[in-house]
Chain A
Amino acid sequence: MSVPEASGTTVSDEKIEHTIDVRGIATHLFEAGSPAAPPLLYLHGTSLGNLWLDYHRAMAQRFHVFAPDMPGFGLTPRPDWMRDMSDYTLYLRDLLDTLGLDKPFFVGHSLGGWMAVEVAVWYPERVGKLVLSNAAGIRVKGSPIADLFAMNPAELLGTIFEDLSAAAPLIPPEITTDYLLAAFRERTTLASLAWNPSYDPKLERRLARVTCPTLIIWGANDRLIPPVYGDRFHELIAGSRLVKLAGTGHMPMFEQPEAWSRPIIEFLSEQA
């Protein structure tokens, strides 16, 4: 692959860890799966960068998975000028070019779902199929997205998880200054993107521009982004499919990695 490396590459049996230069942004990502398999770009939700877990592995069984840390999350820095979703949409197009991906599948969770659907709106020719899981990006009046900025860590975990034991990969062995500073930085990135408005006021109208096959998958008990948001995406994206997973909420890939990845893999494996 002729990807420009910003720093070293680490190869394990399972995945490759790179830091690549995306128009000046040193982007950290994991890559896994057969290079011969269809490419899949996984866009994480807020503060869920720099992770490689069972749900990633499940997708890598069938696809050539790229899981970058979005700028401001994980190990990818955010330049100060990167302040709204349009910057991320352009960045993602640059990322596709840098990785040499013409038209990969996009799977986006939460904030990453918002990013994925923006790319599908603006660059429909670059998105093979779209999967939105518990995605942000729109507003459903009367059903506000919960104010996670007002929550302490325990309240936040209690809101997004049904089963707190599934949150183990997110809980550091020790709360260090570095950890708190990184958390502050990631929340600042989210605030920059989504304090007010916490959605893209024009996105609802523009969802009609999404032309690729689309799957919407949602934890039925999501208390952060209520399932009615999934209904609305389903309604506004022509031909989309909607799957709701019982017994889980905002973090289905943590709580039910198998039940979450199976319909996604099936959907992405279908021939057009």
Chain B
Amino acid sequence: MNRLQFHYFHLMPWPYLPEDFDEKYDSSWVTLPNSIYDPQKGHALYNRYFDEIERADKLGWDSVIVNEHHQNAYGTMPSPNIMAAVLTQRVKRAKIGIVGNALPLHDDPLRVAEEIAMLDVISGGRIISGFVRGTGMEYFSYNMNPTVSRERMNEAHDLIIQAWTRPGPFAFEGEHYNYRYVNIWPRPIQQPPPIWLPGTASLETIDFAAAHKYPYMTVFMTMEQRKMAYNLYRRIAEEKYGYEAQPEQLAFCVPVLVAETDEIAMRDGEKYIMWLFNKGLKVRPEFNFPPGYISERSFLGVLKSGVWQQREKPGFKELLDTGVIIVGSPSTVVEKLAYLTDELHAGMLVTGGHVGDVPDYLVLRNQELMAKEVMPHFREKPIKSEPRPVEISSGS
């Protein structure tokens, strides 16, 4: 089996939704009343989540990861850099990923450059810096114009990389961001901190990632969609940018539930993972795709995929069968991950043990089984150089 990195992603969800959530609310984003959030419970929850992350570090995960989302129950980390700051004091060994800061949502990307630099210095150069555009929902929550999202993303990216790596002071003259003096103190240890780009298969993001040789992370997609995205990445890397993409450039974010047996895993998976899809990701379609957030070409892709009209959410079995989730005994999970490493040549798994209201002992079970019975299969073996992937999907 090819080698695989294991990254521990925590979404920090708000699991305490009211009994009548399904009937009463059409979205857990943007408009779900924040009276549902209880700060006292939140205090305990945050600290429980930090404990889980600390365990992942001790169990040997390569990194722990947090992210940025706003005004929702899916993930309660509006400021991921604050979470990362806490983790620099809790996590002693693993890298600390922020995957990522939602650049276009903010009017001052220099602040992101500064905060990541601070975190990199504090952590001794352990920061992974993801950049994202934010979901469509966040353009409602922050009242940010979605039609300039990609321009702002690309420009903020350029500014931040320059702020980290170019001697200051210098001027940055952008269309959306304009600075007379870019001269950040402190500077990061890593030159620059590694960048990751999560995405949902839009051509523009894949091209951008391939152009910069950044890891591209597919998020909650079917195996077929991931395959198409990776093929596209490899094809663009080779044909447009003249290099061969490596497994470390292809990451997959997938919920994994592992238990002692397939039967137990299925029972627990159906009980807990569905929170993510039925509640955490319950979103009005209009919030998901604000106008101009994706290009016409990508919108056409969305239309063709049928997502637009799809009102019936896939059930547990469908998610399992299509590879959106991975559930099973350690040997089943190893087998499924091996498909990703050996067939799709992806080299980075991004997954967490915490979904919805899963109890702590099950989070621990997941973490331990992953660390002790799954990880070793993918460790300390050289990455095969042959055969290199050749399949090129004409539809991608």
Contact = CB atoms under 8 A, between A and B. Distances in A.
Interface of A: 83, 147, 149-152, 177, 180-181, 184-185, 187-188, 190-192, 195-196
Contact of A150 (B144, B287, B303): B287
Contacts of A188: 147, 291-292
A184 B299 contact: yes
B292 A191 contact: yes
A184 B291 contact: yes
A150 B286 contact: yes
A195 B296 contact: no
9 contacts: A177-B303, A180-B308, A181-B300, A184-B296, A188-B147, A191-B147, A191-B290, A191-B291, A192-B147
B44 to A, nearest CB: 34
A181 B291 contact: no
A195 B303 contact: no
Interface of B: 30, 139-140, 143-147, 284-287, 290-292, 296, 299-300, 303-304, 308
A149 B289 CA distance: 10
Contacts of A83: 147
B291 A149 contact: yes
Nearest to B27: A150
Contacts of B287: 150
A103 B146 CA distance: 37
A150 B284 contact: yes
Nearest to A191: B291
B105 to A, nearest CB: 12
Contact of A192 (B139, B143, B292, B300): B292
Given A83-B147, A190-B291, A195-B146, 10 more contacts: A180-B303, A181-B299, A181-B300, A185-B296, A188-B147, A188-B291, A191-B145, A195-B143, A195-B147, A196-B144
A141 to B, nearest CB: 16
Given A149-B140, A150-B287, A181 B146 contact: no
A177 B308 CA distance: 11
A151 B147 CA distance: 18
A160 to B, nearest CB: 16
Contacts of A177: 300, 303-304
B296 A181 contact: yes
Contacts of A147: 140
Contacts of B292: 187-188, 191-192
Contacts of B296: 181, 184-185
B145 A149 contact: no
Nearest to A194: B145
User: Which 3 pairs across A and B sit closest by C-beta, in order of nearness?
Assistant: A187-B291, A188-B292, A195-B145
Contacts of A187: 291-292
Contacts of B291: 149, 184, 187-188, 190-191
Nearest to A196: B143
A180 B305 CA distance: 14
Contacts of A180: 303, 308
B303 A181 contact: yes
A149 B291 CA distance: 8
B300 A149 contact: no
Contacts of B285: 152
Given A181-B299, A191-B291, A192-B292, A149 B286 contact: yes
A205 to B, nearest CB: 23
Nearest to A151: B286
Contacts of A192: 145, 147, 292
Contacts of A185: 296
A187 B140 CA distance: 15
Contacts of A152: 284-286
Contacts of B290: 149, 191
A188 B296 CA distance: 10
Most buried by A among B285, B299, B304: B299
B303 A196 contact: no
A150 B283 CA distance: 11
Contacts of B146: 191, 195
Nearest to B31: A150
B306 to A, nearest CB: 11
A190 B292 CA distance: 10
A196 B142 CA distance: 10
A83 B145 CA distance: 11
B286 to A, nearest CB: 5
A259 B394 CA distance: 57
A190 B144 CA distance: 14
Nearest to A190: B291
A120 B74 CA distance: 48
Contacts of A195: 139, 143-147
Nearest to A150: B286
A150 B137 CA distance: 10
B311 to A, nearest CB: 11
A197 B304 CA distance: 33
A184 B298 CA distance: 11
A100 to B, nearest CB: 34
B331 to A, nearest CB: 44
B169 to A, nearest CB: 31
Nearest to A152: B286
A145 to B, nearest CB: 13
Contacts of B144: 195-196
Contacts of B140: 147, 149-150
A196 B143 CA distance: 6
A87 to B, nearest CB: 14
A270 B210 CA distance: 66
Nearest to A147: B140
